[in-house]
Amino acid sequence: MQYAMLEIGIKCPKCDGPVPLNGPLETAHCDRCQADIDVPHEFWKDILSDIHEEVKGELEVGDGRQSTIFGTFNVTLTYYHVPPHCTKCDTAFEVDEGLTQPYTHTCAECGRKVEVLPAPEWLVKEYPPAKILIDATPATAGVEGAEKGKEMEKAAVSTPIAFTCPQCGGTLLVDGSDRLVRCQYCSVDVYLPDDLWLRMHPAKVKESWLVGFS
Ligand SMILES: [Zn+2]
Ligand SMILES: [Zn+2]
Ligand SMILES: [Zn+2]
């Protein structure tokens, strides 16, 4: 089996904002304009088959490529031919390549939980050599993963931040659960400004994930 680590992002077709694809997503979400973007199966087939060609061809272990692709989307892609490893501390590990269920590998070096999962059915159908995903966005693991994703989003909401009511100057404590906050002193509805909102809801950033090809 050969593994590639990739980092991929597209430009939002609606607002040109950066949208990371931290796994083979069927739907991506733009944090800037809130658009949901359909990512066609064929897009993944094209990307993954190109990467696979390279890793089984001339790309030596440890080497990588960077490319910008203009097609369905405006894509920025970086990938490397690598052994399976923890994306945080680079420690390599053995993957159970016969897996049928997702499992968690605990990194021997840094203790991080590394998610190893079989590629979703649609992906295997689209591009059969793609078999295993490592550290890919949980949404790929089906319903369970999606639930986990939601929990992680909730957890991202930080401890309350003090904010001054623009109408009466009263101090409001906001927790990021709602962008529209009612001032407890003057009862005006305050729409939280971008910088504050983004601090409580940081935009997703690109993260590396791995694909195993057979
Ligand atoms: Zn957008
Ligand atoms: Zn590690
Ligand atoms: Zn007020």
Complete DSSP assignment for 5-24? EEEEEEE-TTT--EEE--S-
Q: Ligand 1 centroid to 197 CA: how many Å?
A: 17
Q: What is the pLDDT of residue 75?
A: 97
Please tell me the number of the ligand nearest to residue 34's CA.
1
Q: pLDDT digit of tens for each residue in the chain (214 aa)?
A: 999 999 999 999 999 999 999 999 999 999 888 899 999 999 999 999 999 999 999 899 999 999 999 998 999 999 999 999 998 899 999 999 999 999 999 999 999 999 999 999 999 999 999 999 999 986 444 444 445 555 444 444 557 888 999 999 999 989 888 889 999 999 999 999 888 888 887 778 899 999 999 9
Tell me, yes or no, whether 13 and 113 share the same domain: yes
Tell me, yes or no, whether 7 and 112 share the same domain: yes
Q: Ligand 2 centroid to 213 CA: how many Å?
A: 22
Q: Ligand 3 centroid to 186 CA: how many Å?
A: 4
Q: Which domain holds residue 140?
A: 2-154+201-213
pTM score, whole prediction: 0.77
Tell me, yes or no, whether 85 and 118 share the same domain: yes
Tell me, yes or no, whether 85 and 115 share the same domain: yes
Q: Ligand 1 centroid to 148 CA: how many Å?
A: 24
Q: What is the pLDDT of residue 45?
A: 97
C-beta contacts of 145-150 below 8 A and 24+ residues apart:
145/102
Tell me, yes or no, whether 171 and 70 share the same domain: no
Q: Ligand 2 centroid to 6 CA: how many Å?
A: 17
Tell me, yes or no, whether 45 and 65 share the same domain: yes
Tell me, yes or no, whether 73 and 125 share the same domain: yes
Q: Ligand 1 centroid to 29 CA: how many Å?
A: 8
Tell me, yes or no, whether 27 and 97 share the same domain: yes
How deeply is 206 buried, as exposed, middle or buried, from its count of CB atoms within 10 A (0-12, 13-18, 19+)? Answer: middle
Tell me, yes or no, whether 176 and 91 share the same domain: no
Question: CA 197 → CA 40, 73, 111, 161, 201, distances in Å?
Answer: 31, 28, 32, 10, 6
Tell me, yes or no, whether 79 and 29 share the same domain: yes
Q: Ligand 1 centroid to 73 CA: how many Å?
A: 12
Q: What is the pLDDT of residue 158?
A: 57
Tell me, yes or no, whether 188 and 205 share the same domain: no
Q: Ligand 1 centroid to 205 CA: how many Å?
A: 14
**β-pairing verdict for 171-174 and 180-182:** unpaired
As for how many domains the chain has, the answer is 2
Question: CA 28 → CA 93, 125, 175, distances in Å?
Answer: 30, 20, 26
Q: What is the pLDDT of residue 157?
A: 55
Tell me, yes or no, whether 92 and 175 share the same domain: no
Q: What is the pLDDT of residue 140?
A: 41
Q: Ligand 1 centroid to 18 CA: how many Å?
A: 8
